[in-house]
């Protein structure tokens, strides 16, 4: 076990620092924007901007990595992301913040591409599950810690921005000093969304709904918590509970879907998320245990949906199409996460903060109804053809972690890797 982790120790340390800083700024920015009297729509666009930049990073990232190499690209993007955090604190202009947030999204998309392709290459079929399980645990732990750091100082002051910048900057140190060999270049693949929809309508629609539901939570969740009486620590706890709940729901729902028609589990998860959202809207509980319990249920059912839909799609895809399918689903997820915060922020302007969960409940009910309809149109994939469910906790999931058969020990034809372009993560 020690031998499996030795080549990636520096990489995992960089991941921890990077995600801790990202977790802090992801919660800090909406809270600070709200305190600076940004409108709800401006805050919604702020959230969408991150995912718009993320989409650009997914498309441009392979070219950048091939040109600069993994280590140089990583250190350069970390430097940019670190500077961007500080610029937020210097200029309180909504339009500039949108540009900065899009830049952050682009940087982190490529950074995660580097990290996960590196992890994938340093693992084997025997160790990949263990390595990515540890990676997932680190994601959960450090994002939660980063969000809880929001309570260390006032969001209106400079120290929290400085702390986020320091954490992101330090992430470059382990990678810059590592003696481990960098992986092969990341390659681009074609994305055919219509073809993907024909293969798995429920998978594509489900990933779109996952983006429509989770994007607004990242962007407007802190504002919802504040409107219900949460102080700064309360906002940090609120967002941490969402992340923890999403992690808790991954394994049981994923393993259940491995044993039955995944569409049944997708319907159940979407319905559970919708019910939690409806109760939050109808009851409108003030800040306290009841509110946090309902938010926990929401996260429990909402965040595993992306992984469920990816697995369902892969059940209908030939093995040589896994990478293209995963790339397309990631793009669909990001599209939903771009649309969701803007649309939700418009509705909150007219109907108040509760519109956040009204939107998520509505799209989840639509997904449940669509999946139920599709069950009458198409037989389920045989259980023996199910691919293994892969947990995914964050919006920065890249292809290396959603290709269930990925193995980079050697290319498919058995010949040594010649380093020439081929298929790989988007």
Residues 383-410 have pLDDT tens digits of 555 555 555 554 544 444 444 444 444 4
Range in 205-219, 240-254, 266-280 the model is least confident about: 240-254
pLDDT at 79 over 90: yes
In this predicted model, which residue has the larger pLDDT, 278 or 189? 278
- In the chain, the domains with their CATH numbers are 1-184 (1.20.1250.20), 189-406 (1.20.1250.20)
pLDDT digits (tens, 9 = 90+) for 196-209: 899 889 999 999 99
Model's pTM, two decimal places? Answer: 0.84
Q: Are 331 and 55 in contact (CB under 8 A)?
A: yes
């Amino acid at each position: 076990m020690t031998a499996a982790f030795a080549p990636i120790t520096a990489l995992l340390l960089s991941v921890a620092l990077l995600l801790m800083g990202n977790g802090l700024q992801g919660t800090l920015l909406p809270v600070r924007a709200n305190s600076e009297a940004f409108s709800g729509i401006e805050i919604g666009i702020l959230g969408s901007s991150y995912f718009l930049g993320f989409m650009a990073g997914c498309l441009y990232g392979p070219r950048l990595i091939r040109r600069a190499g993994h280590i140089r690209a990583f250190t350069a993007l970390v430097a940019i992301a670190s500077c961007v955090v500080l610029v937020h604190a210097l200029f309180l202009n909504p339009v500039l913040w949108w540009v900065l947030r899009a830049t952050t999204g682009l940087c982190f998309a490529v950074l995660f591409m580097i990290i996960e392709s590196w992890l994938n290459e340093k693992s084997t079929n025997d160790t990949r599950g263990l390595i990515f399980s540890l990676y997932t645990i680190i994601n959960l732990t450090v994002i939660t810690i980063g969000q809880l750091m929001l309570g260390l100082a006032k969001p209106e002051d400079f120290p929290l921005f400085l702390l986020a910048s320091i954490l992101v900057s330090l992430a470059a140190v382990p990678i810059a000093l590592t003696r481990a060999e960098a992986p092969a270049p990341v390659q681009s693949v074609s994305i055919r969304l219509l073809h993907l929809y024909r293969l798995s309508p429920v998978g594509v629609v489900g990933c779109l709904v996952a983006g429509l539901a989770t994007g607004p939570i990242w962007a407007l969740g802190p504002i919802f918590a504040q409107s219900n009486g949460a102080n700064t620590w309360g906002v940090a706890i609120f967002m941490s509970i969402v992340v923890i709940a999403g992690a808790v729901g991954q394994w049981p729902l994923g393993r259940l879907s491995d044993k039955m028609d995944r569409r049944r589990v997708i319907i159940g998860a979407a319905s559970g998320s919708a019910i939690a959202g409806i109760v939050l809207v109808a009851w409108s509980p003030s800040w306290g245990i009841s509110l946090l319990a309902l938010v926990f249920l929401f996260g429990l059912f909402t965040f595993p949906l992306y992984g469920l839909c990816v697995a369902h799609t892969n059940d209908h895809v030939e093995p040589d199409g896994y990478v293209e399918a995963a790339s397309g689903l990631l793009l669909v997820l990001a599209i939903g996460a771009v649309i969701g915060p803007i649309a939700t922020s418009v509705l909150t302007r007219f109907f108040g903060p509760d519109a956040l969960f009204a939107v998520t409940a509505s799209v989840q009910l639509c997904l449940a109804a669509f999946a139920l309809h599709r069950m009458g149109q198409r037989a389920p994939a045989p259980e023996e053809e199910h691919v293994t469910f892969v947990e995914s906790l964050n919006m920065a999931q890249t292809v290396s972690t959603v290709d269930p058969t990925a193995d980079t020990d050697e290319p498919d034809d058995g010949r040594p890797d010649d380093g020439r372009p081929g298929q790989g993560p988007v």
